[in-house]
Structure formats: C-alpha cells, structure tokens
Amino acid sequence: MSGPTLSDVADAAGVSYATADRVLNNRGNVAQKSIAKVREAVDRLGYVRNVAAANLSRKRVYRLAFLIPSGPNAFFNRLRAHITALAQHLSVDNVTVEIVDVSAFSVEALHDSIGQLTGYDFDGVAIVGLQNDQLEQPLADLRAHGVPIIGLVSDLPVALRSAYIGIDNMVAGRTAARLTGMAHANRTGAIQTFAGALDARDHAERLQGFRDVIAADFPKLSVLDPILTKDDPAVLYDAACTALQTNPSISAIYNVGAGNVGLIKAISEIKDTRPFSVIHELVEHSKQALITGHVDLVIDQRPDVEVSRAFALLRALIDQRDMPPMPALMPTIFVQDNLPADTLNDPMEAQVK
Amino acid sequence: MSGPTLSDVADAAGVSYATADRVLNNRGNVAQKSIAKVREAVDRLGYVRNVAAANLSRKRVYRLAFLIPSGPNAFFNRLRAHITALAQHLSVDNVTVEIVDVSAFSVEALHDSIGQLTGYDFDGVAIVGLQNDQLEQPLADLRAHGVPIIGLVSDLPVALRSAYIGIDNMVAGRTAARLTGMAHANRTGAIQTFAGALDARDHAERLQGFRDVIAADFPKLSVLDPILTKDDPAVLYDAACTALQTNPSISAIYNVGAGNVGLIKAISEIKDTRPFSVIHELVEHSKQALITGHVDLVIDQRPDVEVSRAFALLRALIDQRDMPPMPALMPTIFVQDNLPADTLNDPMEAQVK
DNA sequence: CTCAAAATGATAGACGTATATCAGAAAATG
DNA sequence: CATTTTCTGATATACGTCTATCATTTTGAG
C-alpha cells in the first residue's frame, strides 16, 4: 500500500539501515560498492522518501525569500499580496516567507540584495530578475550554498537558476495582436503602441510578437512605432492625448508596459468613439477600466498562479523531489465579463473571504 | 518556531494529554467542562494539528473517487487524463484515486453509482453532477458516512455537497458574447447558436449569458434560436451545413455544447469567408481548429486547474483544515496564439474518429 | 604482519500524533 | 453510603525518518 521504507531498502540491499541512510543523505564514508547496492535496491523497490516523516524528524522549515521590485507598480503589489496570502496558508506546512524589496529595475540594487541573501540562510529563493552579467557573481555564491533559485516574472541569467516561472512575452504580444486584429473585422486601421523602454526585454518581446501577428495575418492594419513612456502615468497621459489628437486614423491602442492609469485617463477623455484598447496586467485600475468600458482587453499573466507555482516548485527543489506537472503559463485574456471577483489591491480584504 | 504541540495544549488546559486527545478527535467520554478547557487552550495557543505527523501516525491514505461521465466526449477524457496525471504525482502523499465511469447524463446511472460508493470506503468524492432531487438520497447516505462530497464541472444539489468546483456558465456565455460582439466592429450580423439540450443547465446558462450581453451592448446583432444537437457531431454537421446554406446573413456561430468535430467539419467546407466562430473546451480537435483557422475562439474551463483544486479541496476537507485561498474560476479564452504546448491527445479520442 | 584509517552494523532517542489499555478519581444513582 | 457509571491520567507502542554514538569489521599503507 504505502511504499517500502528505508529499512526495506537496507534489507534488500543487504546492508544495515545506517549504511542505507548514509547513502541517501550522502553523509560520506561509504564504499562505492555499498552505494551501488543501495542505489540498485532503491530503484528496484521504487523507494521514495516519505517527506512528511523526514520533515517531522528533522523539524524542517522551509525558509523562502522572494525578491520583488518595490515602488508603486500595481502589478508587483498584487504579486506581493498573493505571496503573503498564500504564505499564510502554507505556514501549516512549516513554510516561512520573507519578501525582500528591491529598488525597481536597478541592477546594482538587485546585485546587492542577492549578495545579502547569502548571509541569512534561506532554503530557497525566487527572484524577479534581470538579464545581466553583473548578477552572476552573487547568484553563483548563493548556489554554492546549495540554495535553489528560480526566476519569477522576469528571468535571470539562465545558467544560474533552476527554473523560470513566467509567461512567454512574445506569446502575450501575439495574443494581443490576434484579438486586436479580430476586433477590426477586416477594416483598415493604425495601432498606436506604447512601451516603457525597449531595452526592457519583456516590453520588446511583446512588441515583437504583436508586430509579427499583425504583419502576417492582418495586412490592412499598420503598427505605429511605440511611444516610450518609462511606465510613467503622466508621460503616458500626455503622449496618448497628443497622439490621439494628432492622428485621427488611430483605430487601436496597445500598451506593452505599465503606467496605465495615465492611458486610461486619456482614453476616458475622448468624446466620440474611442480606439480599441488593449493593456497588460489585471490590477484594480485596469479592472475598473474594463468595467467602465474604457478598455477592451487586459492581458494578464496570472500572478496568483505564478506564485502558487513558485511555492510548489521551490519546495520540490528543496526536497529534491521531481516536480508536479506544470504546463507552460499562457497569458490570460480578460474582458469585462470574466473578471475574478476578488479585490486586487487590498490583501487584507481578500483574506477576509 | 513551529507551533505548540498537543502536549502544550494539554498542559495549558490543565488536563492530561489523553483528555486533550479525546477532545480533539472527539472520542467521547469527556466532560463538557474539560472540552471547554481544551478548546479554550487550543484557541489561546493557536494550536493547529500537525497533519504530517498525524498522517504518519495513522498511516493515512486518502482514497478518493471521481465520478466522471463515460463516453467519447473529448472534454471528459481530458478531465480524466488530468486526474490520473495528478494522482500519480500525489501518490507520494498517499493519495489514491479511483475514477468511476458513469453513463453520461443519466440520473439513474448516477444515482446507482453514488449508492455504490457507500460500500467501498472512500475518504472523499468528487462528482460531475446533475441537479436532480433523485440524487438526494444516496448523497445523504454518503454524507452520513462522513464522506466529503464536492461537485465538479457540473453542480450537485447544493445542500448535499461541501463545495462546487467549476466555472460560472453564465459568465462563460457572457464572455463569448463580448468577444463575438467585438469582432463585429459595430457591423450588423446574426449569430447562429447551437446547444446540446436546453435542459442541460450549463448549456442553458451559457446561452442566457450570451443573449444578455448581445442584447445589452450589441444592438446591431441578433441571436438566432439555438439548434439542438444532443452534442452529436453528425447532427451538428448537418445542422451547421443547412443553416449556413439557408441563411447567408449568419455572421457568427456559437456552440455552447459539445460535438464540435462536426461543426468544425462544416466550417472547413465553407468556400468564401466563414463566420466568426466560438466554441467551448480546449481539446485536441478544437485546438487544431484554432491553429488551422477554422475557429476563432475557444472558451475553456481549465480542467487542469479544476482537478488540482479538487484534490486540494478534498484533502483539506478530509483533514478538516480550512481551505487555501481559491478565487472563483473564470472561463479562459484561447486564440491560436496562447495555446498551451502540451498534447491534449488521449487514447479514446482516436477511436472516435 | 601491524596499525591506523575507512567502512559498517547495531541501536537509541527524537519529531508530533494516533490509539489502546488500565488503574484510579469523580460524579451520578439509588 | 455503597455502587455503578462516567471521566481522567499515566503510559506504552507505532508511524518513517534523521541524527548521533559506539563497537566492530574490513581495507589499505607501510
């Protein structure tokens, strides 16, 4: 029924429990011959360590750290909220979480924060990363301490993390394009795009995916070059107002970045028919914009799913188990009708339910 | 660090471990006064039972049963596949699953199957249900045996199940309507609808949601009365061909039910521009239809998410824990660009073709 | 062959809970 | 008050693993 125990393995291998234990927890001082015998017995019997018993015995606690960009960005606040909410429920399983705030998009700050992690001994770390060589040193140090590292939302240098949890931004851009194209119903049009900065990899990828699909499948549409906004609502507001007044042929708007409060404000001030509008990340203000009809679509990366996966993955890595089945994350499309009911900006309120 | 133990609670309550244990596992033969003292101590110390230790001690196995409609329906095959896949990975946690096939949509068959569950002693049961009074008796029996019951995909009589996991079909219909409306870009049009049967609650609800949104927000569109198909691909094929030939004003198609193989075939045979097409449930053939461009949208209820929630929920119910945070399930929109990579194929599917 | 080093076996206590047994105390009954 | 009934406490064993200790055997080097 419930599988073989380590004693069974020891018996089958013809060694003592102590030796089998030495092999499994590689404590050293074991002859190669014995190691082989035990490994063979493990395979033959299909032994899997009873993690519950093991954790009970060694009073295991999973001390996890999440490095999240600080600042007013609503998406990261939502991410933070999901982390704390889930962490509270996982405290039953001896999981403790520390959220480390990192100055947004600063390589230096991230570098230092990762470096400091080595001091406290965390058992696993999830990082909203950057693709930058400067991060290699502290990451390698962390790894050397045997700490599993995963990239979250935005990837780290590939060689130095065990996994990445986040969406494929090219796919996100393609999805946005597909629906924008559909909404034109074979009419002609021009799509004004906005981005925070083009050296932000996710922004560039979304834009690329968007362009690819429009070019391939919607020849009557043209994609206007992105206006760069630094994700600043004020900049976005001004830019959107100007663009809309200057170019009456704009039939759609797509912002690959953040700062949507400004964009929504600009759209809400349009008197006649507004352009078809697509933005990213479902947060309180984008949700409201869907409901009030100022925006048509929100492409979301489901931070709740990402967070829950991050926890599961880190635990699996720490226990050195194999991972549960996890199909690739795909961007989710929200319209005003399939909005989740929960509040997105207030973690405390969400708890109450 | 890791919370108080039951011994701590006993001490705090001024009773013996044995008495504290009697209270927590309500073994009876304990004075009201003692019960109160223990309860108070539990609250005061914030004691939570260490489930891992408890399960270890009592060699707990979670024997779960899933009652799933049998037959060639691709969606339910996919559901089955997700159940077995996840079950395999949960075997580490002593979870065993039995999938009980039930003749599709037959109240009598479901009645009997539920009745038989009482014999084998399962620890928790998930049922793809029907809203029918006849089911109350066997469900009540099961409950009397202390077996948690949840409705999956399609709900059971509300009073007799602990929870329902599935999407709101009204929302699904509304979502379909919103996007169909968008795709008309303010043009006029007529939408031909299809349904398996209108006494199937999910079909009726989807249709209702669809109609509501079109009526409210897209006055230039009309919703044609549904053609009833019994979810039979052959019927659907014939009906779709006839409708499309007879009524050239059809600008869109929406099938709230199954049997899409037939519908897709009919659409693929159209020579000039095909109508905008929306169907439900991402399975291998609907995925292919998206890729080949015979269908524009697939509204999916994410059976993988449903299954994983079902497991988590059943375990929580069995352990009498409180549940992890679970925001309402919302229908997911797939276009050809945000398709999951994994194969949705399954053995049954091959036979149908 | 000798002696240290390396490897192995045997075993015990701990983790927190479940379950059972038995003796003894408190309460209810007449 | 005696007697049954109900309740309580004390204690032991088990679950599967980790960790540690100590004695013993095997191996390798000189």
pLDDT > 70: what percent of chain A? 95
pLDDT in the model for residue B257: 93
Residue partners of B222: CB distance under 8 A and separation at least 6 = B189, B190, B191, B214
Structure tokens that stand for A121 in this block? 């001994």
Cross-sheet strand order for the sheet of B163-165 = B95-102, B62-69, B124-127, B149-152, B163-165
CB spacing of B178 vs A335 below 8 angstroms: yes
Chain B residues within an 8 Å CB radius of A94: 2
Is the C-beta atom of B56 closer than 7 angstroms to strand D?
A: yes
**CA to C1' distance (Å), from A79 to D28:** 59
Is the C-beta atom of A136 closer than 7 angstroms to strand D?
A: no
pLDDT in the model for residue A343: 52
pLDDT in the model for residue B334: 95
Q: Which of A92-101, A223-232, A236-245, B182-191 has the lowest mean pLDDT?
A: A92-101
Name the residue among A89, A213, A339 with its Cβ closest to that of B324: A89
Structure tokens that stand for B232 in this block? 């039979």
CB spacing of A337 vs B174 below 8 angstroms: yes
- Render the burial of B175-209: b for 16+ CB within 10 Å, e for the rest: bbbbbbbbbbeeeebebbbbbbeeebebbbbbbeb
- pLDDT of B191 above 60: yes
pLDDT in the model for residue B132: 80
Average pLDDT over residues A302-308: 91
- pLDDT of A295 above 80: yes
Chain CA centroid to CA B24, Å: 33
- pLDDT of B325 above 90: no
**CA to C1' distance (Å), from A7 to D28:** 30
Average pLDDT over residues A252-274: 93
- pLDDT of B197 above 70: yes
Using a cut of 0.75, tell me whether the model's pTM lies above it: yes
CB spacing of B2 vs A94 below 8 angstroms: yes
CB A350 within 8 A of CB A323: no
CB spacing of B56 vs A48 below 8 angstroms: no
Is the C-beta atom of A234 closer than 7 angstroms to strand C?
A: no
DSSP letter for B247, please.
Answer: -
Q: Which is it for strands A332-334 and A297-300: parallel, antiparallel or unpaired?
A: antiparallel
Is the C-beta atom of B2 closer than 7 angstroms to strand C?
A: yes
Choice between A106 and B298, residue whose per-residue pLDDT is larger:
B298
Choice between B347 and B42, residue whose per-residue pLDDT is larger:
B42
Q: Which of residues 64-123 of B touch strand D (CB under 7 A)?
A: none
Chain A residues within an 8 Å CB radius of B55: 52
Residue A328: C-alpha distances to residues B3, B266, B341 (Å): 36, 32, 7
Output the 3-class SS for chain A.
Answer: CCCCCHHHHHHHHCCCHHHHHHHHCCCCCCCHHHHHHHHHHHHHHCCCCCHHHHHHHHCCCEEEEEEEECCCCHHHHHHHHHHHHHHHHHHHHCEEEEEEEECCCCHHHHHHHHHHHCCCCCCEEEECCCCCHHHHHHHHHHHHCCCCEEEECECCCHHHCCEEECCCHHHHHHHHHHHHHHHHCCCCEEEEEEECCCCCHHHHHHHHHHHHHHHHHCCCEEEEEEEECCCCHHHHHHHHHHHHHHCCCEEEEEECCCCHHHHHHHHHCCCCCCCEEEEECCCHHHHHHHHHCCCCEEEECCHHHHHHHHHHHHHHHHHCCCCCCCCCCCCEEECCCCCCCCCCCCHHHHHHC
pLDDT category of residue B346 using cuts at 50, 70 and 90: very low
pLDDT category of residue B174 using cuts at 50, 70 and 90: very high
Name the residue among B61, B336, B342 with its Cβ closest to that of A2: B61
Mutate to test the interface with B, among A61, A220, A335 (most CBs of B within 10 A): A335
Residue A145: C-alpha distances to residues A158, B28, B303, B307 (Å): 18, 51, 39, 37
d(Cα A253, Cα A278) in Å, to the nearest integer? 6
The DSSP result for B8-19, as a single string, is HHHHHHTS-HHH
Chain A residues within an 8 Å CB radius of B94: 2
CB A56 within 8 A of CB A63: no
Name the residue among A86, A171, A332 with its Cβ closest to that of B337: A171
pLDDT in the model for residue A201: 85
- Tens of pLDDT along B58-112? 888 889 999 999 888 889 999 999 999 888 888 878 888 999 999 877 888 889 9
Nearest-neighbour CA in chain A from B95: distance (Å): 10
Average pLDDT over residues B221-245: 95
> Which nucleotides in chain C lie less than 7 Å from some protein C-beta?
6-11, 13-21
Chain B residues within an 8 Å CB radius of A334: 330
Chain A residues within an 8 Å CB radius of B296: 182
Which of A175-184, B3-12, B148-157 is the most confident on average? A175-184
Helix B17-24 and helix B32-45, axial crossing angle in degrees, nearest 10: 90
Residue A141: C-alpha distances to residues A120, A161, B121 (Å): 13, 12, 52
- pLDDT of B5 above 90: yes
Q: Which of residues 82-121 of B touch strand C (CB under 7 A)?
A: none
pLDDT category of residue B184 using cuts at 50, 70 and 90: very high
Chain B residues within an 8 Å CB radius of A50: 56
- pLDDT of A350 above 60: no
Q: Which of B340, B212, B112, B290 minimizes the C-alpha distance to A302?
A: B340
CB A296 within 8 A of CB B182: yes
pLDDT in the model for residue B347: 34
> Which nucleotides in chain D lie less than 7 Å from some protein C-beta?
6-11, 14-21
Nearest nucleotide to A18 by CA–C1' distance?
C9
- Tens of pLDDT along A189-245? 999 999 998 887 889 999 999 999 999 999 999 999 999 999 999 999 999 999 999
CB spacing of B213 vs A337 below 8 angstroms: yes
Nearest-neighbour CA in chain A from B107: distance (Å): 31
Q: Which residue of B has its CA nearest to A46?
A: B92
Mutate to test the interface with A, among B96, B335, B344 (most CBs of A within 10 A): B335
The mean predicted confidence, pLDDT, of chain B is 89
Chain A residues within an 8 Å CB radius of B183: 182-183, 185
**CA to C1' distance (Å), from A60 to D8:** 35
- Tens of pLDDT along B114-157? 988 877 778 999 999 887 888 888 899 888 888 899 999 988 88
**CA to C1' distance (Å), from B342 to D23:** 57
d(Cα B236, Cα B267) in Å, to the nearest integer? 11
Name the residue among A52, A175, A335 with its Cβ closest to that of B175: A335
CB spacing of A296 vs B182 below 8 angstroms: yes
**CA to C1' distance (Å), from A55 to C18:** 18
Average pLDDT over residues A290-302: 95
Q: Which residue of B has its CA nearest to A322?
A: B89
Nearest-neighbour CA in chain A from B335: distance (Å): 7
Give the count of beta carbons closer than 10 Å to the beta carbon of residue A128.
Answer: 21
pLDDT in the model for residue A348: 34
Q: Exposed, middle or buried: residue A206 (CB in 10 Å: 0-12, 13-18, 19+)?
A: buried
- pLDDT of A352 above 60: no
- Tens of pLDDT along B274-299? 999 999 999 999 999 999 999 999 99
pLDDT category of residue A342 using cuts at 50, 70 and 90: low
Average pLDDT over residues B329-337: 92
**CA to C1' distance (Å), from A22 to C10:** 14
pLDDT in the model for residue A223: 97
Q: Which of residues 42-81 of B touch strand C (CB under 7 A)?
A: 47, 49-50, 53-54, 56-58
Structure tokens that stand for A184 in this block? 């034109």
CB spacing of A330 vs B324 below 8 angstroms: no
pLDDT in the model for residue A320: 79
Is the C-beta atom of A30 closer than 7 angstroms to strand C?
A: yes
pLDDT > 70: what percent of chain B? 95
